[in-house]
């Protein structure tokens, strides 16, 4: 499969719209499932993995969904293409580079559903949406899960629920994550305060690219921790409550900043935009921090002619694999930083600060 054509559009989750999209970037729900009577992936022989892959591939390709899924073998893919799918959040870093042997992913054209085969669990189903859309994401993945389950038997016991390789996922196997952009709380140094309540109700905060990743550009992922003893519906409701609280704090912080430090915010946004428009070397970390400020500017209507969709496009297109696909050649280190700066300069040539 050639992934290059995918640079011409963005996944649905990066549309930049949807409920509460001034603060919530996207919503993601994943389910962990395993086939009954088979060893989990990490203890399976290459032969067993190949069998699981061909069984699930057949099932996935027969699914009758509104958007058909296309299966691609990740094992047979060049490293840069795997990285490309990681950046689009269609596969995990583990599936891309840590795990070995037969494995793959099926996803639909709008990139709202992705099914990873032979991840840590035989099947990881994922549904992605733009904005805060927990119900819609759950409805989608619940339906896909039912459709698959009508064709294969999952490892399940009444007592422990859906059995998973790691006991932290057993039960519902569900992890719902909401990606938030909290620049005003970041500027006001109130992030920790806003997150204090999370631990008490068993929610976890992570950076943008999942487990162990640092929060760059004030992007935070909030997800449920508990999968056993709490239903999917109850978990989603807990998350929703907390997310609405945090959205409220972030909006209050934005209002306060605009009232009390309008010139400072304006200056921060203008400087970020100016740097992006003129720098000749740019790391992906710096890009993330600067685009974070620009994104805030867009939502505070301090930047005239930039849409949230364009800002999202810049975020994803400046990731290493996307950048190399766009440039049409492998680039490393300084060459990549130079190419990134060139790309940003060209894209932002006409954008200006207005106030």
Partner 1 sequence: MKCHYCQNPASVHLTKVVNKTISEVHLCEACAREKNLIPDSPNDLNVPAVLQLAFGQASAPIRPVQMESTCPVCGTPYAHFRAQGRLGCPHDYDVFRPLLEPILERVQNGSIRHVGKLPGRHRRRLTIARRVELESNLKLAIEVEDYEKAAKLRNAIRELGVEHER
- Binding residues for partner 1 (CB under 8 A): 34, 36-40, 42-43, 120, 142, 145-146, 149-150, 153-163, 165-168, 170-172, 174, 202, 225-234
Separation of alpha carbons 295 and 21, rounded Å: 11
Indicate the residue among 225 and 355 with the shorter CB distance to partner 1: 225
Minimum CB–partner distance for residue 128 and partner 1 (Å): 20
Nearby residues of 12 by Cβ (< 8 Å), 6 or more positions away: 110, 111, 112, 128, 129, 130
Indicate the residue among 205 and 252 with the shorter CB distance to partner 1: 205
Separation of alpha carbons 120 and 74, rounded Å: 14
Minimum CB–partner distance for residue 211 and partner 1 (Å): 13
Minimum CB–partner distance for residue 92 and partner 1 (Å): 15
Place of tokens 């009954």: 36
- Is residue 278 within 8 A of residue 345, CB to CB? The reply is yes
- Is residue 130 within 8 A of residue 138, CB to CB? The reply is no
Indicate the residue among 238 and 289 with the shorter CB distance to partner 1: 238
Minimum CB–partner distance for residue 154 and partner 1 (Å): 5
Minimum CB–partner distance for residue 173 and partner 1 (Å): 9
Minimum CB–partner distance for residue 184 and partner 1 (Å): 32
Indicate the residue among 155 and 272 with the shorter CB distance to partner 1: 155
- Give the C-alpha distances (Å, rounded to integers) separating 241 from 80, 132, 231, 234: 39, 12, 16, 11
Indicate the residue among 50 and 258 with the shorter CB distance to partner 1: 50
Indicate the residue among 112 and 227 with the shorter CB distance to partner 1: 227
Give the DSSP per-residue string, 170-236: TBT-EEEEEEEE-HHHHHTT-HHHHHHHHHHTTEEEE-TTSTT----TTEEEEEE---SSS-HHHHH
253 token code pair: 């912080």
Indicate the residue among 158 and 192 with the shorter CB distance to partner 1: 158
Indicate the residue among 20 and 120 with the shorter CB distance to partner 1: 120
Minimum CB–partner distance for residue 107 and partner 1 (Å): 23
Separation of alpha carbons 275 and 283, rounded Å: 12
User: Pairing between strand 156-157 and 24-33?
Assistant: unpaired
DSSP state letter for 102: S
Separation of alpha carbons 233 and 333, rounded Å: 46
In the chain, helix, strand, coil percent, each to 5? 50, 15, 35
Minimum CB–partner distance for residue 63 and partner 1 (Å): 14
């Amino acid at each position: 499969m050639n992934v290059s054509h995918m640079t011409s559009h963005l996944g649905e989750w990066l549309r930049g719209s949807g409920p509460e999209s001034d603060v919530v970037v996207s919503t993601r729900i994943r389910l962990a499932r395993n086939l009954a009577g088979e060893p989990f992936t990490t203890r399976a022989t290459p032969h067993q993995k190949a069998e699981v892959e061909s069984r699930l591939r057949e099932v996935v390709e027969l699914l009758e969904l509104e958007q058909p899924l296309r299966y691609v073998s990740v094992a047979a893919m060049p490293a840069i293409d795997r990285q490309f799918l990681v950046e689009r959040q269609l596969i995990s870093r583990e599936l891309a580079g840590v795990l070995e042997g037969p494995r793959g992913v099926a996803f639909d054209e709008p990139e709202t559903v992705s099914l990873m085969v032979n991840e840590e669990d035989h099947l990881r189903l994922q549904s992605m949406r733009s904005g805060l859309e927990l119900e819609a994401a759950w409805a989608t993945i619940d339906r896909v899960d039912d459709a698959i389950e009508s064709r294969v038997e999952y490892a399940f016991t009444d007592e422990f629920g859906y059995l998973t390789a790691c006991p932290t996922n057993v039960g519902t196997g569900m992890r719902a994550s909401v990606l938030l952009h909290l620049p005003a709380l970041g500027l006001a140094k109130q992030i920790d305060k806003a997150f204090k309540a999370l631990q008490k109700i068993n929610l976890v905060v992570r950076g943008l690219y999942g487990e162990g990743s640092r929060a760059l550009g004030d992007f935070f992922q909030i997800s449920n921790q508990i999968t056993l003893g709490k239903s999917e519906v109850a978990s989603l409701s807990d998350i929703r409550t907390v997310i609405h609280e945090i959205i409220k704090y972030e909006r209050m912080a934005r209002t306060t900043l605009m009232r009390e430090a309008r010139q400072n915010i304006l200056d921060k946004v203008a400087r970020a935009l100016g740097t992006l428009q003129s720098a000749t070397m740019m790391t992906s970390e710096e890009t993330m921090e600067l685009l974070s400020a620009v994104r805030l500017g867009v939502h505070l209507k301090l930047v005239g002619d930039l849409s949230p969709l364009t800002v999202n496009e810049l975020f994803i297109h400046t990731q290493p694999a996307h950048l190399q696909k766009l440039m049409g050649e492998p680039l490393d280190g300084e060459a990549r930083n130079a190419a990134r700066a060139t790309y940003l300069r060209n894209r932002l040539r006409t954008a200006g600060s207005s106030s």
